[in-house]
């Protein structure tokens, strides 16, 4: 497992979350006299979430080398981010949002021509995020700072290290087979939730189109060559994508697939339901649960959520077409696959400790292993320091 995977996972999933929220905010805008107010509100929501997501202290904790933590731990962070503004999501909409985020990024990881191209996917997400806040220099500077940190951290890694990052991501996503209407309509996903990988298209940068076999002697001199017919139609890429702060990424993975408005639905496949049922029957306490909570405490402690000014009241965003669809989704989703929305106030008050303690209970805490004693600091002391 790579200790450099977490920032890429978080930023790409966060980018997909912002794409979806932007699309739904636009879809639910009110025409007529209230249109301008709705647009300002949508822009304020995006600004608040992006400012929270790229908080300096939060990014400092995120970029520290560390193993990936559980899906539930990461999901808690995204619950927190999605509610970092006046917008509120019901549990069914939050479940759908997280399903769309994870399946979109899983597909992008599977399609990356080279493991190193995962970084280009991340840059595409950050480029789009900068477009959301182009008129806010303060937040734009936060995103650029994260951009520079990505370049400094990942541009120097070897191909082998990126291959390990890709494997770590695929292990994280391996049991997620949620059907998404966009993927089903484009025929890139089967009815069982598994993706269909293409056998044609551009080959990875630095490689040749398959179809030729060269044979060399012991001196390294080519002595024979033969050709063979391939099943796919391959082409050589014209240029490599830019790994700099500004530039043409060439690769389109990670760009906003919701730019054209169309309904998006998610459905649990039969295999996913079966896996979830088996997981419920074979629950084993997680020996890393205390470290996960400490990780959450550090991350959430870095999120400086500002209360909306101007006395603006909150509003609810629905990721379904109607409230009835949202209610039906909440009732039919398997209980073991649903997550409760956990709201944690960014204050020093005792209530903060109670909220984190509740997460501790949900993380199936077991006694920490002896070799993790140094990392697993006293939980209450850690909370007092937040």
- Please determine, for residue 378, whether its predicted confidence score (pLDDT) is greater than 60: no
Of 76-85, 263-272, 354-363, 370-379, least confident by mean pLDDT is 370-379
Structural element, H or E, at residue 225: strand 222-227
Structure tokens at 248: 């043409």
- Please determine, for residue 329, whether its predicted confidence score (pLDDT) is greater than 90: no
Angle of CA points 307, 308, 310, to nearest 5°: 130
pLDDT in tens, 37-94: 777 888 889 999 999 999 998 899 899 998 887 888 888 888 888 888 888 888 888 9
Strands 87-88 and 178-180: unpaired
Q: How far apart are CA 30 and CA 347, in angstroms?
A: 35
Percent of the chain past pLDDT 70, that is, above it, reads 65
Of 235-239, 242-246, 381-385, least confident by mean pLDDT is 381-385
- Please determine, for residue 362, whether its predicted confidence score (pLDDT) is greater than 50: no
CA torsion sign for 142, 146, 149, 151 is negative
Structure tokens at 11: 């930023």
Q: How far apart are CA 11 and CA 17, in angstroms?
A: 10
pLDDT: which is higher, 151 or 366: 151
Give how far Cα 259 sits from Cα of 128, 192, 256, 321, 385, Å.
Answer: 11, 26, 6, 18, 43
Residue 51 · residue 142 · CB < 8 Å:
yes
Backbone dihedral angles phi then psi of residue 267, each to the nearest 5 degrees? -140, 140
Give which of 170, 67, 75 is closest to 363, Cα–Cα.
75
Strands 266-268 and 315-316: unpaired
Phi-psi region of 211 (alpha: psi -120 to 50; beta: other; left: phi over 0): left
Q: How far apart are the first and last CA of the chain?
A: 29
| Burial of residue 20, with CB atoms counted within 10 A of its CB: 0-12 exposed, 13-18 middle, 19 or more buried | buried
User: Which residues lie closer than 8 Å to 158 by C-beta, 6 or more apart?
Assistant: none
- Please determine, for residue 370, whether its predicted confidence score (pLDDT) is greater than 50: no
pLDDT: which is higher, 27 or 300: 27
Taking each continuous run of H as one helix and of E as one strand, the counts in the chain are 14, 8
Whose tokens are 């179809």? That residue is: 211
- Please determine, for residue 13, whether its predicted confidence score (pLDDT) is greater than 90: yes
Q: Average pLDDT, whole number, for the chain? A: 77
């Amino acid at each position: 497992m790579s200790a450099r995977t977490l920032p890429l996972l978080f930023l790409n999933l966060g980018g997909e979350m912002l794409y979806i929220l932007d699309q739904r905010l636009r879809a639910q805008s009110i025409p007529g006299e209230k249109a301008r107010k709705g647009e300002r509100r949508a822009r304020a929501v995006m600004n608040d979430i992006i400012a929270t997501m790229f908080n300096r202290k939060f990014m400092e904790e995120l970029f520290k080398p560390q193993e990936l933590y559980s899906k539930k731990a990461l999901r808690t962070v995204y619950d927190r981010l999605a509610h970092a503004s006046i917008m509120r999501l019901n549990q069914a909409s939050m479940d759908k949002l997280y399903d769309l985020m994870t399946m979109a990024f899983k597909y992008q990881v599977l399609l990356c021509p080279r493991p190193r191209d995962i970084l280009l996917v991340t840059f595409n997400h950050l480029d789009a995020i900068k477009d959301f806040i182009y008129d806010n220099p303060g937040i734009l500077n936060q995103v650029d700072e994260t951009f520079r940190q990505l370049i400094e951290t990942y541009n120097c890694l070897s191909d082998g290290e990126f291959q390990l990052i890709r494997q770590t991501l695929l292990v994280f996503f391996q049991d997620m087979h949620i059907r998404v209407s966009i993927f089903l309509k484009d025929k890139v996903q089967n009815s069982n939730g598994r993706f269909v990988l293409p056998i044609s298209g551009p080959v990875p940068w630095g490689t040749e189109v398959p179809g030729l076999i060269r044979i060399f002697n012991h001196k390294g001199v080519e002595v024979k060559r033969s050709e063979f017919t391939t099943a796919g139609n391959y082409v050589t890429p014209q240029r490599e994508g830019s790994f700099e702060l500004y530039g043409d990424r060439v690769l389109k993975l990670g760009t906003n697939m919701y730019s054209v408005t169309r309904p998006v639905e998610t459905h649990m496949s039969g295999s996913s339901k079966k896996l979830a049922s088996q997981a419920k029957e074979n629950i084993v306490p997680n020996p890393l649960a205390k470290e996960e909570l400490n990780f959450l405490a550090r991350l959430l402690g870095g999120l400086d959520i500002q209360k909306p000014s101007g006395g603006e009241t909150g509003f609810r965003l629905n990721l379904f077409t109607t409230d009835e669809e949202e209610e039906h989704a909440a009732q039919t989703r398997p209980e073991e696959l649903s997550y409760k929305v956990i709201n944690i106030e960014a204050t020093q008050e005792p209530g903060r400790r109670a909220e984190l303690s509740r997460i501790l209970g949900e993380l199936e805490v077991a006694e920490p292993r002896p070799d993790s004693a140094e990392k697993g600091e006293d939980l209450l002391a850690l909370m007092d320091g937040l």
